[in-house]
Amino acid sequence: MSLQPGQAAPQFTLVSSALQTVSLADFKGRKVVLHFFPLAFTGVCTTQLCTMRDSFGYYDGLNATILGISVDSPFSLAKFKEENNYQFDLLSDFNKEVSTAYEAIYADFVMGLKGVSKRAAFVIDEEQNIIYAEVLEKATDLPNFEAIAAVVK
């Protein structure tokens, strides 16, 4: 059964593109918008994160933090962040533990790749409970940005 609103968000600690450890618990008292994406430097993933980049001020003004998560290495994510001027942290789930915990992982992806994050969005409230969950089966689909913004408000 997939994660649903009302459930406690699975806790995690990952390495960021700045080579710092970042834990979900660090953001208790703030809303957190988690964006899982399959792979850095790909078209739809860039669109997903650029949409959040361009809306960053909106979320920051609502006491919400944006975090991007993929199975890419922190070094790849650092370059991806730099090239696209993302203001939020990108976190490396290289070991696939968080994508698995959030049930947002492809066992088999394109080109024979295995264990790649699905495109997904979660909003976690100030008490670390899920208040929005969307896991997409098709990697070419984008999350519902309007629904995410509405639940953060």
* 66, 35 Cβ separation under 8 angstroms: yes
Q: Which of 22, 24, 32, 45 is catalytic?
A: 45
Tell me which residue of 52, 47, 46 sits closest to 34, measured CA to CA. 52
Report the distance separating Cα 20 and Cα 91, nearest Å: 9
Establish whether 50 is a catalytic residue: no
Beta bridge mates, 68: 35, 90
Report the alpha-carbon distance of residue 65 to residue 46 in Å, rounded.
19
The answer to whether 111 and 121 have CB atoms below 8 angstroms apart is: no
Which residues are designated catalytic? 45
